[in-house]
């Protein structure tokens, strides 16, 4: 009876350790997931403020669309296993830097640089690296701005710096990248040479479209400059009139010396 109990206890020890390890891993990955979701929230708030500022001060919003994603715990674990990374929170945070991603789609090429600069120049944003695939496209024609940044997420236990992958591209670039991704997925990366050639030609066509649309945009904005200035002058005149009325009212109600 005692021997059986000892054997049962010995067998349950490793099982109990495995259960505890699995529970700890789940808790760790739940926390990592939560931190990156909060980092996305922080970035989307920054982008929202930027959009409203541009619209309010410049009468123009350079940001067309914003999308975001956080890798699922299973995807993160699969990537860790593929790269031989220890499944610990420290190793995951240090070596897998694309768990959180934000993609910003702009109208024009100049806007992509403007938006990226506005976001990465903020004092609580640490830029790890920037890759300019617009100035230097990939061989297949892919164009986009990529920035790997860190932003602080403030939790009850203190601040945690979380990596976010930021992509900024034009509408034409985004459309091309979406099509290219679908084709690569369909052919499992082994895309026929004819399609590769067509994709490269389409990337060039997208670039020409971006350049033409930006030229048109500059011409239209140039024509609208006087209109915007007139609107601003009207606002200034109204404010000046209100200020004069306030001064006159203050003089009327002031006590005699």
Catalytic residues: 165
CB of 38 closer than 8 Å to CB of 157: no
Edge-to-edge strand ranges of the sheet holding 63-70: 63-70, 100-106, 158-170, 145-155, 126-132
């Amino acid at each position: 009876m005692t021997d059986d109990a000892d054997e049962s206890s010995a067998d349950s020890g490793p099982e109990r350790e495995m259960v505890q390890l699995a529970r700890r891993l789940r808790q760790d990955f739940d926390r990592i997931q939560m931190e990156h979701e909060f980092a996305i929230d922080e970035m989307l708030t920054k982008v929202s403020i930027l959009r409203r500022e541009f619209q309010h001060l410049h009468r123009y919003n350079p940001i067309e669309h914003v999308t975001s994603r956080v890798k699922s715990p299973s995807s993160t674990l699969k990537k860790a296993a593929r790269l031989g990374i220890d499944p610990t929170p420290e190793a995951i945070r240090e070596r897998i830097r694309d768990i959180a991603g934000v993609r910003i789609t702009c109208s024009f090429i100049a806007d992509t640089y403007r938006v990226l600069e506005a976001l990465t120049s903020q004092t609580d944003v640490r830029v790890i690296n920037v890759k300019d695939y617009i100035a230097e496209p990939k061989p297949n024609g892919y164009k986009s701005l990529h920035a790997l940044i860190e932003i602080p997420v403030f939790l009850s236990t203190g601040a945690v710096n979380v990596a976010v992958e930021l992509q900024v591209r034009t509408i034409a670039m985004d459309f091309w990248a979406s099509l290219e991704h679908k084709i690569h997925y369909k052919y499992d990366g082994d895309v026929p040479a004819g399609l590769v050639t067509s994709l490269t030609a389409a990337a060039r066509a997208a670039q020409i479209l971006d350049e033409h649309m930006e030229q048109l945009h500059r011409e239209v904005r140039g024509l609208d400059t006087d209109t915007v200035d007139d609107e601003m002058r009207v606002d200034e005149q109204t404010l000046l009139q209100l200020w004069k009325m306030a001064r006159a009212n203050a003089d009327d109600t002031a006590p005699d010396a």
